[in-house]
Amino acid sequence: MLSLVGVGRIRLSDGTGTEQKRPIFTVVLAVLSLLLTAAAPAGPSAAALPAPPCTWATEYNRTLDELGENRAQWRATDPPGGFWGTGGDDGAVVSPLIPCRYVADVVRHEHMHLQQVRQFGSLGFAQFVLGADRLEIVADCASMLAGSRYTPYVELAGGCTPRDLTDARQLLRDHGTSLGASAGTSNAEALTVGAGR
By beta-carbon proximity to Zn ion, the closer residue of 94 and 191 is 191
By beta-carbon proximity to Zn ion, the closer residue of 59 and 189 is 189
CB of 139 to Zn ion, least distance (A): 5
Classify residue 79 by its DSSP letter. P
Distances, alpha carbon 128 to alpha carbons 67, 83, 138, 193, in Å: 26, 23, 13, 25
Q: Footprint of Zn ion on this chain (CB under 5 A)?
A: 136, 139, 189, 191
By beta-carbon proximity to Zn ion, the closer residue of 8 and 131 is 131
CB of 42 to Zn ion, least distance (A): 49
By beta-carbon proximity to Zn ion, the closer residue of 105 and 189 is 189
Give every CB contact of residue 160 below 8 A, 6+ residues apart in sequence: 137, 140, 141, 144, 154, 168
Q: Cα separation of 11 and 126, whole Å?
A: 82
Distances, alpha carbon 24 to alpha carbons 5, 7, 133, 142, 151, in Å: 16, 11, 81, 67, 66
CB of 110 to Zn ion, least distance (A): 7
CB of 92 to Zn ion, least distance (A): 10
